[in-house]
Structure 1
Amino acid sequence: MKALFIGGTGIISTAITRLLAGSEDWELYLLNRGSRNEELPERVQTIQADINDEETVARLLAVHSFDVVADFIAFEPAQLERDYRLFKGKTRQFIFISSASAYQTPLSDYRVNEGTPLSNPYWEYSRNKIACEDYLMRLYREEGFPVTIVRPSHTYDERFIPMGVHGNRGSWQVAKRMLEHKPVLIHGDGTSLWTMTHSRDFAQGFVGLMGNLHAIGEAVGITSDETVTWNQIYGILADSLNVPLKAVHVSSEFLADCWDGDLRGGLLGDKANSVVFDNSKLKRLVPGFTAGIRLDQGMRETVKHILAHPELQEEDPEFDAWCDRVIAALGKAKKEILENRG
């Protein structure tokens, strides 16, 4: 079978690319600009182009048709309108990667499945994903366009430490603060429930949906079944670094209001809410699927890899200084209240 990935080198898609490259059942093409293709497996073929250059892409794909096309880098309906023009009649299945953050926020029930309503007033990213889903499902209903929607949650790999509160340059600075025995910020009281999914586990579920006729017209979540608290998540990172955890718990609303950036969407619109995912639908569509990598196992692997690759240790002085200011302000407020009580 023949597949085309638009993108194919991100946190989610890299693991799928590697898995398919080792399969004799799939012939895999990646369409991207080629900026991260140097580490691709040998059997993967590339079509170098910018997907936004629709005329060039249409010309390059004129001789191709595919069993599966998956777009990993579509975020707005206009991008999917372009995909529809490019791939109508050229693929037997079109997979769109949406997001579990599209689910109702705040939730009326912390247990989440594909029937949970879609609504997120806090995060434009999530609202755009919802609009993308609406557009594609309308194409499926009205024209039979063979759509499958996939909803990942917080997915990580060996290059990325999954954290709740971090700056614009990624989460390494949180680990660096731990290594320097500095306190780290945990949103809320740290007891809300969350799910982390390793990209290799995600890949197993995703590949099981590829070419799966029962997945056409369906939206499917792919996550781990493991549920952890944020206190446990930060504790696992500290254990992986072999350092004590020095946690400072701060209201999610306070953090979102104080950060000069889009922390409100990713925090209030996603990570601050307790979620427990029901993967029954995925397991029905992909019999035998199991997310087998526990967070403590995956985190140790990620930390080991990043410590061995200094190029992945991107520091974030702005976020580091902000953490210090927030912690100092809380300490000052506490001191003043204690001194003036009674």
Structure 2
Amino acid sequence: MARVVVIGATGHIGTYLVPRLVRAGHDVVAVSRGAAQPYLPDNAWHRVERITLDRAAAEANGDFGRSIADLKGDIVIDNICFTPDSAQQLAEALIGKVRHFLHIGTIWTHGYSGVVPTPEDATKRPFGDYGVQKAAIEDYLLGLARRDGFPVTILHPGHIVGQGWSPLNPAGHFDNAAFQTIARGETLALPNFGMETVHHIHADDIAILLMQAMDNWSVSVGEAFHAVSPGAVTLRGYAEAMYRWFGKEPALSFHSWEDWKAMQTPENAAATWEHIARSPNASIEKGRRLLGYAPRYTSLAAVQESVSWLLGNGKLAV
């Protein structure tokens, strides 16, 4: 078993990953700002070494990479890296000091979907600051793997879902009002024909894929893998399934983008555009073939579990 350092340990992925690592017998060091607790309680956290470290402040001082290296992890998992400079500071400090480095990217590195399902090796033309920065990180880390043998594996999640937070909804944003509209059987307005796609992933399936990458080191190092459910869903199909889950008949209306946008808050409209402009639909064939990846949750099952949690915890009133 290994000493595993998890950066961003109490977030979406870490909530599920850290207990799995502990139960697998690993010595786990959980690094976070200390500002939040995991979304779900688990007795495994009592066997975890907790380190409080403000990444932004430590990077500004040039100390973050060294601080992580000083923890002497055999494996380092980075859930919260968003700029090439941040990736470089950490990777350079870990060269020659770790057996495996795992980085969480995003399917937004692809930009527009050209072919679907999109394989990992499709030509990438990202847009928007987040996708562009994450694609640059991927280029840097995989280049470091090729040139210097840095033992990196990259996972690219879709829209992360789990108990404890609101999932991306059928209108393409995160406002729970969409689920309330569906639960009441009222009409939900969708942009265009509702045929754009979103691609969810349960956070626990990401945790499982990370561990499969660790267990299959020889084929995962120097590679990137999509971490998504077995299939993307259209906004229309997603909405209709949620109506039926709530015991209602689907009631949808469709509007041109400009008309639909005028019906929304600026924040919701902007979030929807970011998602449907990309309409991700990513392949998991590479992960299946090399790592044995078999997600436990479909997109709909992941969302329905999350919505059940929201209902049960008074976060969604219907």
**TM-score for the superposition, normalised by structure 2:** 0.84
Which residue does the alignment assign to 2:129? 124
Whether 2:98 is the aligned partner of 1:98: answer no
Which residue does the alignment assign to 1:144? 149
- Label 1:147 to 1:263 Cα distance change in 2 as closer, same or farther (>3 A): farther
Output the amino acid matched with 1:8.
A
Contact 1:152-1:223 within 8 A present in 2 as well: yes
Which residue does the alignment assign to 2:209? 205
Which residue does the alignment assign to 1:35? 35
Give how far 1:48 is off.
0.8
Structure 2 portions without partners, runs of 5+: none
> What root-mean-square deviation, in Å, do the aligned CA atoms of Structure 1 and Structure 2 show?
2.8
Which residue does the alignment assign to 1:235? 240
Higher mean alpha-carbon deviation, 107-116 vs 47-56, is at 47-56
Whether 2:78 is the aligned partner of 1:81: answer no
Whether 2:252 is the aligned partner of 1:247: answer yes
Structure 1 portions without partners, runs of 5+: 316-342
Output the amino acid matched with 2:53.
A
Give how far 1:162 is off.
2.8
Give how far 1:81 is off.
2.1
- CA deviations on 1:3-37 (whole Å, 9 max, x unpaired) are 1111022223322223223212x222111111223
Contact 1:31-1:49 within 8 A present in 2 as well: yes
- Label 1:140 to 1:44 Cα distance change in 2 as closer, same or farther (>3 A): same
Output the amino acid matched with 1:113.
P
Q: Within 1, Cα distance between the matches of 2:13 and 2:87?
A: 19
- Label 1:180 to 1:80 Cα distance change in 2 as closer, same or farther (>3 A): same
Which residue does the alignment assign to 2:74? 67
1:135 to 140, 162, 167: 140
Q: Within 2, Cα distance between the matches of 1:193 and 1:210?
A: 31
- Give the aligned length: 307
- Label 1:3 to 1:252 Cα distance change in 2 as closer, same or farther (>3 A): farther
Q: What secondary structure, in the 3-state scheme, does the structure 1 residue paired with 2:108 have?
A: helix
- CA deviations on 1:207-255 (whole Å, 9 max, x unpaired) are 1012513211111112222343221211222233334433232334665
- CA deviations on 1:137-174 (whole Å, 9 max, x unpaired) are 2322333222211111122112333315366xx33222
Tell me which structure has the larger Cα radius of gyration: 1
Q: Within 1, Cα distance between the matches of 2:65 and 2:118?
A: 39
Which residue does the alignment assign to 1:326? none
Contact 2:13-2:203 within 8 A present in 1 as well: yes
Q: Within 1, Cα distance between the matches of 2:277 and 2:223?
A: 28
Give how far 1:181 is off.
4.4
Whether 2:57 is the aligned partner of 1:50: answer no
Superposition pairs of residues 317-336 of structure 1, within 5 angstroms: none
Which residue does the alignment assign to 2:168? 162
Q: What secondary structure, in the 3-state scheme, does the structure 2 residue paired with 1:151 have?
A: strand
Q: Within 2, Cα distance between the matches of 1:180 and 1:64?
A: 51
Output the amino acid matched with 2:230.
D
Output the amino acid matched with 2:151.
P
Q: Within 1, Cα distance between the matches of 2:309 and 2:19?
A: 17
Which residue does the alignment assign to 1:172? 176
Output the amino acid matched with 1:109.
V
Give how far 1:108 is off.
2.7
Contact 2:109-2:134 within 8 A present in 1 as well: yes
Q: Within 2, Cα distance between the matches of 1:85 and 1:305?
A: 41
Contact 2:160-2:167 within 8 A present in 1 as well: no
Superposition pairs of residues 3-14 of structure 1, within 5 angstroms: 3-14=4-15
Whether 2:277 is the aligned partner of 1:305: answer no
Give how far 1:186 is off.
2.1
Percent same amino acid at aligned positions? 21
Q: What secondary structure, in the 3-state scheme, does the structure 1 residue paired with 2:286 have?
A: helix
- Label 1:103 to 1:255 Cα distance change in 2 as closer, same or farther (>3 A): farther
1:153 to 154, 158, 165: 158
Q: What secondary structure, in the 3-state scheme, does the structure 1 residue paired with 2:54 have?
A: coil
- CA deviations on 1:62-111 (whole Å, 9 max, x unpaired) are 65322221211111112112212442333222212111111141x33223
- Label 1:165 to 1:147 Cα distance change in 2 as closer, same or farther (>3 A): same
- Label 1:45 to 1:271 Cα distance change in 2 as closer, same or farther (>3 A): farther
Q: Within 2, Cα distance between the matches of 1:44 and 1:57?
A: 21
Which residue does the alignment assign to 1:15? 16
Output the amino acid matched with 1:36.
A
- Label 1:202 to 1:62 Cα distance change in 2 as closer, same or farther (>3 A): closer
Higher mean alpha-carbon deviation, 247-256 vs 28-37, is at 247-256
